[in-house]
Structure 1
Amino acid sequence: RRSGEVVLGIDARDPVGSAVDFAFDCARARAVRLRAVHAWALPASAAEWPFAVPERDRATWEDHEVQVLADALRPWRERYPDVPVLEDVVLLSPVQALAHH
């Protein structure tokens, strides 16, 4: 069944090249978008804070994760310029992030 996108769960710090190649190949063959889902968590030190994580700090950490994902995908985006990619960085566990899609 054709869907509107191929979903790739990716650890942006240690991408598995064969899985990323497969996802890009599938998206290209189906002429659909590739959604690259990178799940992340707050640093362990944040759990020790006696108050909620300030939005400014969370946003800074998330911006960093967005950049990590962009850097990880760069070689494949160059290799597959015809595949549209949606980079999806989510503050969830990997299982929750993929189950959502």
Structure 2
Amino acid sequence: MVVLFASLAVIGLVLVLAMPTTHEENIGPVGSESETRSEDRASYEEDPCIECHSGSDVMPAVIEDWASSKHANNNVSCIDCHEGEESDPDTFRHNGYWVT
């Protein structure tokens, strides 16, 4: 079991490191017109997840970890990785977004 977990962790790390650092994605709150965010315009100061969670008692350590990560350095926001589809059973609605 430990070997399986370690293998999955290594595979996940390799996949994250292999992600391109420039990209464009359509993101936006559920029920609104999506906006296109590119690396040039994306900023964690504009990320509603960061703005809300960094000023609350809900998961501030996750925000601190993210702030010193490769994701933050490459303007990859929370929703870039955690946006989900409404049809996915692991997804829930949170502040206008479907998240995983």
Please confirm whether the aligned pair reaches a TM-score higher than 0.5, indicating the same fold: no
| Greater RCO structure (CA 8 Å; 6+ sep) | 1
Q: Name the structure where helix makes up a greater proportion of residues.
A: 1
State the TM-score, normalized to the length of structure 2.
Answer: 0.28
